[in-house]
Amino acid sequence: MSEVLSATNLKFLAQGMWTTLYLSFFIIVLSTLFGTILAV
């Protein structure tokens, strides 16, 4: 198990998590702007 939770793997997992959060935030902002434009 120590190999699975190595520093490199944890760094990779954290990077992937932040990328996912960043992308989802960007998509939410885009969809909100697009929805506002369509509503008007």
Q: Report CA dihedral (29, 31, 32, 36) to the nearest 10 degrees.
A: 140
pTM for the predicted model, two decimal places: 0.60
What is the C-alpha separation between 1 and 10, in angstroms, rounded? 13
Q: Which structural domain, as residue segments, surrounds residue 1?
A: 1-40
Domain count, the chain: 1
**pLDDT over threshold 60, residue 1:** no
Q: How many Cα neighbours within 13 Å face the side chain of 17? A: 6
Distances (CA, A) of 12 to 8, 19, 20, 22: 6, 11, 12, 15
Chain segment 8-38, per-residue pLDDT in tens: 888 999 999 999 999 999 999 999 999 999 9
Residue 2 predicted with pLDDT over 80: no
pLDDT at position 40, please? 87
5, pLDDT greater than 80: no
